[in-house]
Amino acid sequence: PQPIHLVDYRPPSHLVEDVHLTFRLSPKGTRVIAKIRFRANPEGLDEGNLRLDGENLRLISLSLNGHPLTALDYLLTPQGLTIPAERLPGPAFTLCSEVEIDPEANTALEGLYTSNGMFCTQCEAEGFRKITFYPDRPDVMAPFTVRIESDLPVLLSNGNPLASGEGWAEWHDPWPKPAYLFALVAGDLVAQSDRFTTASGRDVALNIWVRPGDEDRCDYAMDALKRSMAWDEQVYGREYDLDIFNIVAVDDFNMGAMENKGLNIFNSKYVLASPETATDRDYDWIEGIVAHEYFHNWTGNRITCRDWFQLCLKEGLTVFRDQQFSADMRSAPVKRIEDVLQLRARQFREDGGPLAHPVRPESYVEINNFYTATVYEKGAELIRMLRELVGPDAYAAALDEYFARHDGQACTIEDWLQVFEDVTQRDLSQFKRWYTQAGTPRVSAEWHIADGTLSLTLRQEVPATPGQPLKEPALIPVRLGMLTPEGAEILPDMVIELDSPEVSRSWDLADLAQAAGVSVPQRVIPSLLRGFSAPVVLDAALTPEDRAVLLAHDGDPFNRWEAGRRLLREALVADLAQTRFDTAGVIEALGHAAGDTHLDPAFRALVLSLPSEDDIAQAICDIGLVPDPVAIADAHRALSARMGAALGPLLQRLYAENDPGPAYSPAAEDAGKRALRNTALRLLSLTGDLTLARAQFENARNMTDQVAALSCLIAGGETEAAARFEAQWQGDRLVMDKWFMLQIAQAPRDMALDRAKALTEHPLFDWKNPNRFRSVIGALGQTPAAFHDPSGAGYRFVADWLIRLDGLNPQTAARMSTLFETWRRYDADRQELIRAELERIAATEGLSRDMSEMVARISG
Ligand code: B3K
Ligand code: ZN
């Protein structure tokens, strides 16, 4: 298939006035009758043919203004239907079509499909064309009226309910929307219901629809929804705009959730929670994703994207908004650290490899392949930087203007930046490069003191990425401070805009010292990129002693954590590269911070957590060596054990002091205590003493503690706990996903691959369910020592399953192919083995467009 290019964008020839859809639901043969009123687009540039998308549709009948059409009147291809301009009755007309589709055969989970006896839809990005013939592009917006006919008791669609009776229901969505926001659900469902009154007094009915038996697991999602609605009013002035807001939980879902207007559809993993079945991490995710989908109502739905190249317009902004929300609900520094951990783990990895692409890509073959960490998470970082650059007040004013100017429109990144330029009178053309240039910029810093002057020089370099060999300098906000060796802040916190290859600043040191009320220091320690003010890699020649000062004293909590994290990374790299390093000193410094009861327990838990094995592999590459995943796994475990031994008494104390008590609350305070306690448990267990883990497993009253203990026991080589866990939870799909995953991810490294293979034979390994597939195949791929087994067996295992899944569900299979994206990091033998697997996948007959594009890009 040919790639689609941003520069080829053309406005649609026709717009849609309104749509009426009737669904006669049946699992194998659903009839869809569409009545669509079109009018010619005055801005349309082409000859005026009517082109409709449509895939896998059995056409039953077609009429124009009531006159039946014959096959001579239109051109039908596997991609859609075209009625030539000369067959159209004029600039305005009504097209009626009837098609038949097969929801039960729809294993790709895109369009209308069935899941456990219920019907549901997923239309973003281009799924609506699998439901009926339509201009399936986001710049065509229309009000929808939907009639559903089915014996199932609950029949839902977008908007407000119009009328219903025995076996049917009608819905009307007055807000013009693109087809990708269409949704329909029908099933034997029960609701957990509540109400919300908006700031202007609209009374909104809230429902979370689940399968009978799950209704007592919706409290937290409902609570998160109400808090999201209130927050968006308070912080962004955005009110909800319908009389009803429905959420539906579905077991078979490719992604996390979907923001369909008034009818959000969720992977049940991100809705259902009870203390016994969900971990603190699950609660976190639920809060963030419920908020994210709700916030899309304004950033995505009321203002949508002109075309799919503009995906970051809605996704980057909505991720940023959900990050702000979670920061307000919980600890802001802890949230920032967690977001940066994710960004580095997923987006930096992507940006540094063959799949690197700009936040706004310029071409694609399959748009589903571009729902990436770059579009989402780096897209959110760009909004964060923009806010940093213009200031919070101008940001708020610009957002007000954006909503006022573009409500009801399908927009571009140019529209978005224009609003900021108009409101701030600032030229943002250099900032725009963040949207068009791929690659993670590297910032280096040098500083020195001479003749009483402190000078700092910052330099930047944007690395070449596929298709973009040369880059222009980016506009990088670097927030920073300076500390004395005693840990006093000597420079007021400030932002330097690094807008050229090199920027220097200098200060009179005596003046700084006087203003700060300290004596003039011999040297200073810069605290750079505070709060992670830009998504860049920072190289600063700080010594371990400097970092220890930052860890103990930095006024910026992010950099305080970062200093400890860098020390751990250096300790691991030194171990692997066999260079000298004062690891004992690092452990002691970390112990100090972790024992500081003035600090938030959640923060202290993060201080004690090690960089991931994947991070270490990247760090080894960065110093020009070839990482060995097996050696990394051993070094990682050895350092944990060493920390456990060296900090034993402290960890015992943290464990004892941070028990939040028997009543479970998912709120940040208790969750933070559990995080610290379970981090201590982990380090203690890795010394080989499983006493505490065994006791916790016996007595655990919530899933957070049970999973933490089980993880330690599996890592310690005990198999009995996993068997008991299975006996306890075999009836619970979401909990069993954890069971499958932990047995691989936590296994001693030489056992993980055999485990994974054995688990694919387990009667509950339903590989067609995306969550279950991810919890086994994905877990193996994310366990580096097993995935990168020198024999190549890990690669073969993953490739076999990707090929198998691709035949049924290309989207989920293609997404998981990113497990191979770092292949060039490794030694020649491993590269050869991976290359062979990629070639084998590429050569598979009938390979999907999704997977072909991914494998071609990864292979490079
Ligand atoms: N917008 C959806 C993602 C749709 C994925 C299509 N492959 C969820 C979200 O970002 O909120
Ligand atoms: Zn989103």
Q: What is the DSSP letter of 774?
A: I
Atom of ligand 1 nearest to the CA of 257: 8
Q: In the block, which residue shows the tokens 């939040």?
A: 660
Atom of ligand 1 nearest to the CA of 296: 11
Structural domains of the chain in order of their starting residue, each with its CATH number? 1-188 (2.60.40.1730), 304-436 (1.10.390.10), 442-534 (2.60.40.1840)
- Are the beta carbons of 195 and 205 closer than 8 angstroms? yes
Hey, how many other C-beta atoms are within 10 angstroms of the C-beta on 78? 8
Q: From atom 4 of ligand 1, which residue's Cα is the shortest distance away?
A: 124
- Per-residue confidence (pLDDT) for residue 821, from 0 to 100: 98
* Cα(404) to centroid(ligand 1), Å: 25
At 334, the pLDDT band (50, 70, 90 cuts) reads: very high
Q: From atom 1 of ligand 1, which residue's Cα is the shortest distance away?
A: 258
Q: From atom 5 of ligand 1, which residue's Cα is the shortest distance away?
A: 124
Q: Where are the beta strands (DSSP E) in 179-273?
A: 184-187, 190-197, 203-210, 244-250, 257-258, 263-267
Say whether pLDDT at 439 is over 90.
Answer: yes
Q: What is the pLDDT of residues 530-559, one digit of tens each?
A: 999 999 999 999 999 999 999 999 999 999
* Cα(259) to centroid(ligand 1), Å: 7
Atom of ligand 1 nearest to the CA of 292: 11
Q: Where are the beta strands (DSSP E) in 366-451?
A: 410-411, 442-450
Which bound ligand lies closest to the C-alpha atom of 289?
1
CA distance 527 to 679: 27
Q: Residues 760, 631, 607, CA angle at the centre, nearest 5°?
A: 90
Pocket of ligand 1 (CB under 6 A): 124-125, 255, 257-259, 292-293, 296, 315, 368, 371
Which bound ligand lies closest to the C-alpha atom of 125?
1
Q: What value of ipTM does the predicted structure carry?
A: 0.99
Q: Which residues of 283-295 are buried (b: 16+ CB within 10 A; e: fewer)?
A: bbbbbbbbbbbbb
Q: 610 by DSSP, 3-state: which?
A: coil
Q: What percent of the chain has pLDDT over 90?
A: 99
Q: Residues 634, 637, 642, CA angle at the centre, nearest 5°?
A: 120
Which bound ligand lies closest to the C-alpha atom of 181?
1
* Cα(293) to centroid(ligand 2), Å: 6
Instruction: Please report the DSSP string for 95-152 in residue order.
Output: EEEEEEE-GGG-TT--EEEEETTEEEEE-TTTTGGGTS-B--STT--EEEEEEEE-SS
Structure tokens at 599: 């600090």
Q: What is the pLDDT of residues 250-308, one digit of tens each?
A: 999 999 999 999 999 999 999 999 999 999 999 999 999 999 999 999 999 999 999 99
In angstroms, the first-to-last Cα distance of the chain is 17
Which bound ligand lies closest to the C-alpha atom of 770?
1
CA distance 208 to 48: 44
Q: How many residues does the chain have?
A: 860
Q: From atom 9 of ligand 1, which residue's Cα is the shortest distance away?
A: 258
Catalytic residue at 293? yes
Q: What are the φ/ψ torsions at residue 80 (nearest 5 degrees)? A: 165, -160
CA distance 855 to 860: 8
**Which of 123, 286, 315 to mutate to test ligand 1, by most ligand atoms within 8 A of the CB atom?**
315
117 φψ region: left (φ > 0), alpha (ψ -120 to 50), beta (else): left
Say whether pLDDT at 397 is over 90.
Answer: yes
What is the bridge-based pairing of β-strands 363-364 and 4-5? antiparallel
Q: What percent of the chain has pLDDT over 70?
A: 100
CA 743 to chain CA centroid, nearest Å: 24
* Cα(258) to centroid(ligand 1), Å: 5
* Cα(408) to centroid(ligand 1), Å: 20
Structure tokens at 1: 């298939």
110, 124, 126, 293: which one is catalytic? 293
Q: In the block, which residue shows the tokens 């770092």?
A: 822
- Are the beta carbons of 542 and 522 closer than 8 angstroms? no
Q: 540 by DSSP, 3-state: which?
A: strand
Q: 120 by DSSP, 3-state: which?
A: strand
* Cα(236) to centroid(ligand 2), Å: 17
- Per-residue confidence (pLDDT) for residue 96, from 0 to 100: 98
- Are the beta carbons of 180 and 305 closer than 8 angstroms? no
At 45, the pLDDT band (50, 70, 90 cuts) reads: confident
Q: From atom 8 of ligand 1, which residue's Cα is the shortest distance away?
A: 258
